[in-house]
């Protein structure tokens, strides 16, 4: 695997288990260069969520643990930092399932992303306007309770709240899940704009390989907890076999199995 010289995130040889017994990751490698969008692809149960939990040091909360390897965010070992500190340092994650406080309005939800971060009122207001510029439909729904908004609007709210925490590395777990293709495109093009205009680094786990490869710079494919393929999104888009072999299709014939990626 090609390793960028100064990655914002570097994952090497990571192994992880749940309940001290169930192995979920077996030597995973992945790097995110500053300013890149990296897609983490894989079918159900491939280990994407587990890897993202490991990145934000959230596995202990799930009775899980990283048992080998290491994960460096901006050069620092994430296992030594608690999850809320990681957020303050700029490692911000939007968890799977578009978590919003359903009884709070869209705007109140967005405000919660700015809590715990020293910022002036004007600074928070400017952040809010930035989120509304990115997702104009949130501005229209700012006074609506999140529980009454659509699935797409809830996902935008969850993403907006993450942005209010001022990420340096923005990590998203399946933002497309359960959403209509047009909304998925709207969300991914907003992320791409942030990446292009502000240099935001992004790691996004997706089962929807078509949309992820359309917007990402690079991608890593996980299968059964192993990183089995890594490359530029442009190259992987050409590979018609990816979907068939790695993302819920037929098992891969041995002669086509690429060499496991190395650090
Ligand atoms: P999906 O897209 O379905 O969420 P995924 O690629 O994110 O899949 P994971 O959720 O990371 O995959 O699951 C990887 C493996 O770890 C699976 O075998 C799963 O059953 C197991 N696993 C995930 N979460 C837990 C947990 N909290 N406790 C025990 N095992 C878990």
Long-range CB contact pairs, 210-213, < 8 A, 24+: 210/243, 211/176, 211/181, 211/184, 211/185, 212/39, 212/41, 212/188, 213/39, 213/41, 213/237
Q: pLDDT class for 107, splitting at 50, 70, 90?
A: very high
Q: State the Cα–Cα distance between residues 156 and 152, nearest whole angstrom.
A: 6
Say yes or no: CB of residue 48 within 6 Å of ligand 1.
yes
Nearest CA to ligand 1 atom 27: 62
Tell whether ligand 1 has an atom less than 6 A from the beta carbon of residue 65: no
The model's confidence at residue 100, banded by pLDDT at 50, 70 and 90, is: confident
- Nearest atom within ligand 1 for CA of residue 51: 11
pLDDT at residue 97 in the model: 84
Integer Cα distance of 211 and 213 in angstroms? 6
pLDDT band (50, 70, 90) for residue 36: very high
Lowest mean pLDDT among 23-37, 113-127, 204-218, 249-263: 249-263
**Pocket lining: 21 vs ligand 1, CB cutoff 6 Å:** no
Residue 121 burial (CB count, 10 A): 7
pLDDT of residue 114: 86
How many helices (H) and strands (E) would you count in the chain?
10, 10
Per residue in 66-96, pLDDT (tens digit) is 999 999 999 999 998 999 999 999 999 999 8
Is residue 51 over pLDDT 80? yes
Question: pLDDT at position 254, please?
Answer: 45
Q: Is 18 in the pocket of ligand 1 (CB under 6 A)?
A: yes
Find the 50 Cα to ligand 1 centroid distance in Å: 6
Report CA(44)–ligand 1 centroid distance (Å): 8
* pLDDT digit string, tens, across residues 108-126: 999 998 887 767 788 889 9
- pTM summary value: 0.90
**The pLDDT value given to residue 122:** 80
- Protein residue with its CA nearest to atom 3 in ligand 1: 44
Q: What is the model's pLDDT at position 123?
A: 83
Does the beta carbon of 44 sit less than 6 angstroms from any atom of ligand 1?
yes
pLDDT for residue 214 is more than 50: yes
Residue-wise pLDDT for 126-179, tens only, equals: 999 999 999 999 999 999 999 999 999 999 999 999 999 999 999 999 999 999
Per cent of the chain over pLDDT 90 is 76
Q: Name the token pair of 56.
A: 């934000």
Our answer on whether the CB atom of 45 is closer than 6 Å to any ligand 1 atom is: yes
Q: What are the structural domains, with CATH classification, of the chain? A: 1-33+43-90+169-176+203-263 (3.40.50.300)
- pLDDT at residue number 115: 83
Using most ligand atoms within 8 A of CB, pick from 40, 47, 171 the residue to mutate for ligand 1.
47
Name the pLDDT band for 246 (thresholds 50, 70, 90).
Answer: low
24 lines ligand 1 (CB under 6 A): yes
Between residues 29 and 121, the one the model is more confident about: 29
């Amino acid at each position: 695997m090609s390793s960028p010289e100064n990655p914002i995130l570097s994952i090497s040889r990571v192994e992880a288990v749940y309940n001290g017994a169930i192995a979920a990751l077996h030597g995973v490698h992945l790097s995110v260069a500053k300013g890149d969008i990296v897609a983490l692809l894989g079918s159900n149960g491939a280990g994407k969520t587990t890897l993202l939990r490991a990145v934000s040091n959230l596995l202990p909360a799930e009775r899980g643990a990283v048992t080998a390897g290491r994960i460096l965010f901006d050069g620092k070992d994430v296992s030594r930092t608690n999850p809320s500190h990681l957020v303050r340092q700029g490692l911000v994650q939007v968890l799977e399932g578009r978590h919003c406080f359903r009884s709070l309005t869209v705007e109140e939800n967005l405000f919660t992303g700015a809590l715990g971060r020293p910022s002036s009122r004007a600074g928070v207001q400017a952040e809010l306007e930035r989120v509304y510029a990115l997702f104009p439909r949130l501005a229209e729904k700012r006074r609506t309770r999140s529980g009454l908004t659509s699935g797409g609007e809830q996902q935008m709210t969850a993403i907006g709240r993450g942005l209010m925490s001022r990420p340096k590395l923005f990590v998203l777990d399946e933002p497309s899940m359960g959403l209509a293709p047009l909304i998925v495109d709207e969300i991914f093009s907003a992320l791409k704009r942030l990446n292009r205009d502000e240099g935001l680094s992004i790691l996004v786990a997706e089962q929807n390989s078509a949309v992820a490869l359309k917007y990402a710079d690079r991608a890593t494919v996980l299968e059964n907890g192993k990183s089995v393929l890594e490359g530029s999104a442009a190259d992987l888009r050409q590979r018609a076999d990816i979907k068939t072999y790695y993302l819920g299709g037929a098992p891969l014939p041995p002669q086509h199995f690429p060499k496991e990626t190395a650090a």
